[in-house]
Amino acid sequence: MVDAHDKEGQHAAREGGLIHRVMRALELTRGVEIARRYLAMNAFDGALTMLGLVLGGLLTINPSNPEPGFAAILLAAFGTSIAMAVSGFSGSYLAESAERDREVENLGRAMLTDMSDSMYARAGRTTSVVVAIVDGASPAVAAFLIIIPLLFVPAGYLDYNVALYLSVGICMVILFLLGLFLGAVSKKNIWSYGAKTLFAGIITAALMYVVSWVTGAGG
């Protein structure tokens, strides 16, 4: 009879084996670099998308009756986060799977053998799943972090205006941290990269205000 300690040991061994296989597959297919690129790129996209939505709320919500406009912004933020996650995962998985299948087919043709069940093919399938998860999760997580202050408004813990400004602040911090991450990856000046990504957020905000002024859409 297997006791609890044996079961825990077997479970840990399976988890360790799974992690080892995943890391080995990513190493074999250079999946780490691909996942890292998707992480930074899509988190950046998610943050800027949420910045646009939040600024839209600041510019258009009627101060005398903020509830309908704020509810619309909150729903749009959640809907956009979900859409980015689903789109990122499905699109990335299909694209990566197609690329990996083409690589395996070309490799098999060059070696005059069927490579569809080879270690490289299995590693490619694993990489496709991991990259798709990173691609779908990174913009959604960035977006969710930005809209956290908005969740305190319906319960009355924060004023809607304060929550929106806090969300803008969180977005700018995330953009700056993404820049530091990219700088660390490139092994160059991390502060320069942080300033560049932060500047992208500032430019986005400035353009939103210009468009609001030109179109008269601001409240």
- What are the tens digits of pLDDT across the range 97-128? 887 778 777 777 777 676 667 777 777 778 88
Mean of pLDDT values over 184-210:
90
Percentages helix, strand, coil for the chain (3-state, rounded to 5) are 85, 0, 15
* Environment class of 116 (CB within 10 Å of its CB; exposed 0-12, middle 13-18, buried 19+): exposed
- What are the tens digits of pLDDT across the range 29-85? 777 777 888 888 889 999 999 999 999 888 888 888 888 888 888 999 989 999 989
